[in-house]
DNA sequence: CTGAAAGCGCTTACAG
DNA sequence: CTGAAAGCGCTTACAG
């Protein structure tokens, strides 16, 4: 049996209530008895029981991380572990615990979230994705359970604390960067257009092109899923692109493979800039110019603001923008 | 305030102890009253409070995942999320919860593990790495806290349930596969030789070569960290290798980049086989032949055996070997 | 088959 | 500044 508050109380010759107050460092207790009690806690190796504290306090010091519906591809995208690393950093430092919620379907996910909340296992959630109409977000909102979103929420926007990049501006910045290298014909190859982040990036690209008065033929935008034929069509557009923006490093890897199959060399014939700056951007051949969106910080800030909200419900809604920066490597060059 | 066992008891006209027994589906309760109580539970939307259950039962239904000391590179290696996906699958289906433990140093990690155990936050751990002398494993062992290891444990081996591939055999199989393609000169480029998995793979390679009577000049083994010069030296060995085994897909990506810088084309001049079969193996150009080690199952089985151990301490120690298979793609071809 | 009561290990008004 | 007592929401021997 582990040592309890009673054992400490007995050895320190005080009531358990006093020990409890020492644990909380209550100002009501004299320094003298605090010191005595602490000595005994140390001597006995006492740690307060988590379940008992949770039961008495009605908080769990635990947060849930809601993953998108489980899919190999999503898990293999390093976005997830890197944001988790950021979340974990903050959470661990503040003695919270982190629970991952996964599910094969959104119904399964919802029922797990509901169960965890109703059984009082977590105090709040970080939602690691954002989509148009999400029954989980609706549930959290309705039950007034604290949550923060990584990405741009699609529902209850003004009431939802979220952490995101300015993906629209990032795409514009990439266009500016490329025009600075004298590129005038810039194409965009994008990932899943269900995801808000991709929609934003595409929009930023389109607006930047328009504002710069650059040509934007239909063929310049290629969406996933695409194949070798689509890529060939893109390269044969009139005028043909000299640069290409790709929505994600993993997609960039797929695109590059097609380019080399089509005999197009990078960056000599085509410059490429991508997003996310994953480790593999550096490993690619040539190394990829990519927009670093600081995924770690997205996670870190999401955890921070969630826990602030949990500990003080009056905390205001926040929209936190994590800065991006273009990391220049060899896949892009002056025209 | 959430609905409690008392509310249910009152509405169903029974004692709280009866409700509790219904929750546990105790055979002592008649089907008639079970039905009545369940109806009320449903009507009220009752779910048992997790903290109260934990406190009364002295179990948490929660397991900890101990990560290696936090490092960007490790988190960006898809091994981690994919094993987590496997763990998560089992854990969620069995109504357990999963807590990730990270730390920047092994001391930090240890103190967090100790804290989580002493405060009763988890029932056991999955250790996601294995190293020679590990203070965390020593602590868990000494305190008789249930844990399972993914990989090959280095301490208390016969008492430690673990899930692993037969990495030694896998490397041998790769040699056999390559000799089947008529390759006789096979080099090995390896990752971090601190990690057991890499040591095993290297050993399997060496033994297989020896058994097949194939040449094994010193230059054939290149260890991390290596640079372009090391690669050049390898390619100039006498006789020069016609095939190369690489310890990991990410390393393979780095190697391939160097090869192309040295003007060596794959697979025409050099066949390559790697390990892990990450998503990027398929995305590489050419697609990489890689040994699929079924990382998902490593995680799934680790969770399964840990929870079995937690729920029945008499459960015997198990060593579980997850099968591997070579996934042939275009980076390797007949000589 | 069911209930009353004690207990799990904490916290916190209340009283002094 | 400190203590006795009730309470958080469950479980489980014990009695019937």
Residue A26 belongs to domain with CATH number: 1.10.260.40
Give percent of chain A with pLDDT exceeding 90: 66
Which residue, chain included where needed, has tokens 């969770």?
B303
Cβ–Cβ below 8 Å for B82 and A60: no
Do B191 and B257 have their domain in common? yes
CA distance A234 to A248: 18
Enumerate the residues of chain A whose CB falls inside 8 A of the CB of residue B279: 72-73, 76, 250
Tell me if A150 sits within 8 A of A162, measured CB to CB.
yes
B277-292, pLDDT tens digit by residue?
988 899 898 999 999 9
Q: CA at A9, C1' at C16: how many angstroms apart?
A: 20
Do A162 and A178 have their domain in common? no
pLDDT mean across residues, chain A:
91
Q: Rg for chain A (alpha carbons), in Å?
A: 26
Whether A1 shows a pLDDT value over 60: the answer reads no
pLDDT band at B73 (very low <50, low <70, confident <90, very high): low
pLDDT band at B238 (very low <50, low <70, confident <90, very high): confident
CA distance A187 to A241: 6
pLDDT mean across residues, chain B:
91
pLDDT band at B132 (very low <50, low <70, confident <90, very high): confident
Tell me if B89 sits within 8 A of B29, measured CB to CB.
no
pLDDT band at A79 (very low <50, low <70, confident <90, very high): confident
Task: Let me know if residue A41 belongs to a domain.
Answer: yes
The domain tally of chain B equals 3
CA distance A206 to A95: 45
CA distance A71 to A182: 40
Q: Rg for chain B (alpha carbons), in Å?
A: 26
Question: What's the confidence (pLDDT) of residue B133?
Answer: 86
CA distance A149 to B41: 33
Residue A30 CB contacts under 8 Å (≥ 6 apart), including other chains: none
Task: Let me know if residue A11 belongs to a domain.
Answer: yes
Residue B274: strand pairing partners: B290
Whether A108 shows a pLDDT value over 80: the answer reads yes
Task: Let me know if residue A329 belongs to a domain.
Answer: no
Question: What's the confidence (pLDDT) of residue A313?
Answer: 86
CA distance A83 to A81: 6
- From B293's Cα to the closest Cα of chain A, the distance in A is 15
Question: What's the confidence (pLDDT) of residue B1?
Answer: 57
pLDDT band at A72 (very low <50, low <70, confident <90, very high): low
Find the residue in A nearest to B260 (Cα).
Answer: A285
A146-183, pLDDT tens digit by residue?
999 999 999 999 999 999 999 999 999 999 999 999 99
Do A158 and A202 have their domain in common? no
Whether B95 shows a pLDDT value over 90: the answer reads no
Do B157 and B183 have their domain in common? no
Please calculate the CA angle A204-A209-A214 and round it to the nearest 5 degrees: 175
Do A289 and A300 have their domain in common? no
Residue A145 belongs to domain with CATH number: 3.40.50.2300
Question: What's the confidence (pLDDT) of residue B280?
Answer: 86
Instruction: Please list, residue by residue across B22-55, b when 16 or more beta carbons sit within 10 angstroms of its beta carbon and e when fewer do.
Output: bbeeeeebeeebeebbbebbeeeebbbbbbbbbb
Task: Let me know if residue B332 belongs to a domain.
Answer: no
Distance of CA A133 to the CA centre of its chain: 19
pLDDT band at B80 (very low <50, low <70, confident <90, very high): confident
Backbone angles phi, psi at B290, to 5 degrees: -145, 150
**What DSSP character marks residue A270?**
-
Tell me if A191 sits within 8 A of A248, measured CB to CB.
yes
Give percent of chain B with pLDDT exceeding 90: 66
Do A160 and A176 have their domain in common? no
Residue A127: strand pairing partners: A66, A149
Enumerate the residues of chain A whose CB falls inside 8 A of the CB of residue B115: 47, 95
A310-332, pLDDT tens digit by residue?
998 888 999 999 999 999 999 99
**Strand D: which bases are under 7 Å from protein Cβ?**
1-5, 7-13
Which residue, chain included where needed, has tokens 């996933």?
A224
Cβ–Cβ below 8 Å for B100 and A84: yes
Tell me if B256 sits within 8 A of B236, measured CB to CB.
no
**Of B256, B278, B284, which is closest to A76 when you measure between CB atoms?**
B278
Task: Let me know if residue A130 belongs to a domain.
Answer: yes
Question: What's the confidence (pLDDT) of residue B301?
Answer: 97
Do A307 and A246 have their domain in common? no
Task: Let me know if residue B53 belongs to a domain.
Answer: no
Mean pLDDT of B199-212: 95
CA distance B55 to B61: 11
Task: Let me know if residue A94 belongs to a domain.
Answer: yes
**Of A81, A112, A257, which is closest to B75 when you measure between CB atoms?**
A81
Task: Let me know if residue A89 belongs to a domain.
Answer: yes
Distances (CA, A) of B264 to A200, B9, B18, B232, B238: 41, 77, 75, 10, 17
> What is the domain range of residue A43?
5-48
Distance of CA A166 to the CA centre of its chain: 13
Residue A83 CB contacts under 8 Å (≥ 6 apart), including other chains: A128, A150, A295, A296, A298, A299, A302
Say whether residue A240 is in contact with chain B using an 8 A CB cutoff: no
Whether B75 shows a pLDDT value over 80: the answer reads no
Find the residue in A nearest to B143 (Cα).
Answer: A2
Choice between A177 and A26, residue whose per-residue pLDDT is larger? A177
Whether B71 shows a pLDDT value over 70: the answer reads no
Do B176 and B283 have their domain in common? yes
CA distance A57 to A54: 5
Do A162 and A300 have their domain in common? yes
Mean pLDDT of B216-242: 91
Do B208 and B149 have their domain in common? no
B292-328, pLDDT tens digit by residue?
999 999 999 999 999 999 998 888 999 999 999 999 9
Question: What's the confidence (pLDDT) of residue A73?
Answer: 66
A247-298, pLDDT tens digit by residue?
999 899 999 999 988 999 999 999 999 999 988 899 898 999 999 999 999 9
pLDDT band at A194 (very low <50, low <70, confident <90, very high): confident
Do A127 and A203 have their domain in common? no
B39-57, pLDDT tens digit by residue?
999 999 899 999 999 999 8
pLDDT band at B104 (very low <50, low <70, confident <90, very high): confident
Measuring CA to CA, which residue among B238, B223, B233 is closest to residue B185? B238
Do B287 and B192 have their domain in common? yes
Query: Which residues make up the interface with nucleic strand D when CB must lie under 7 A?
Result: A 13-18, 21, 27-30, 32-33, 52, 55-56, 58; B 1-2, 4-6, 16-17, 20-21, 23-24, 46-49, 52-53, 55-57
Give percent of chain A with pLDDT exceeding 70: 98
Work out the burial of residue B192: count CB atoms within 10 Å of its CB; fewer than 13 is exposed, 13-18 middle, 19 or more buried. middle
Question: What's the confidence (pLDDT) of residue B256?
Answer: 92
């Amino acid at each position: 049996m582990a040592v309890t508050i009673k054992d400490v109380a007995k050895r320190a010759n005080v009531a358990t209530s006093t020990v409890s107050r020492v644990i909380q460092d209550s100002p009501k207790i004299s320094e003298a008895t605090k010191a005595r009690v602490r000595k005994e806690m140390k001597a006995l190796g006492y740690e307060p029981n988590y379940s008992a504290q949770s039961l008495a306090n009605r908080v769990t010091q635990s947060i849930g991380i809601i993953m998108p519906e489980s899919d190999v591809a999503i898990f293999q995208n390093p976005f997830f572990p890197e944001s988790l690393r950021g979340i974990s950093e903050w959470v661990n430092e503040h003695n919270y615990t982190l629970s991952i919620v996964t599910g094969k379907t959104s119904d399964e996910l919802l029922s797990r979230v509901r169960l965890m909340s109703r059984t009082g296992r977590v105090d709040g959630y970080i939602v690691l994705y954002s989509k148009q109409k999400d029954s989980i977000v609706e549930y959290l909102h309705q039950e007034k359970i604290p949550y923060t979103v990584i990405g741009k929420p699609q529902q209850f926007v003004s009431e939802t604390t979220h952490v995101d990049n300015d993906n629209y501006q990032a795409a514009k910045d990439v266009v500016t960067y490329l025009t600075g290298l004298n590129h005038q014909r810039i194409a965009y190859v994008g990932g899943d257009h269900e995801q808000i982040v991709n929609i934003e990036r595409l929009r930023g690209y389109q607006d930047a092109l328009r504002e710069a008065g650059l040509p934007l033929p239909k063929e310049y935008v290629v969406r996933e899923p695409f194949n070798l034929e689509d890529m060939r069509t893109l390269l044969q557009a009139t005028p043909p692109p000299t640069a290409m923006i790709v929505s994600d490093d993993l997609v960039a890897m797929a695109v590059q493979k097609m380019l080399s199959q089509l005999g197009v060399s990078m960056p000599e014939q085509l410059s490429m800039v991508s997003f996310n700056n994953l480790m593999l951007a550096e490993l690619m051949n040539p190394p990829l110019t990519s927009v670093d969106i600081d995924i770690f910080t997205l996670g870190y800030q999401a955890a921070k603001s969630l826990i602030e909200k949990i500990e003080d419900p009056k905390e205001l809604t926040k929209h936190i923008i994590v800065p991006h920066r273009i990391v220049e490597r060899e896949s892009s060059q002056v025209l």
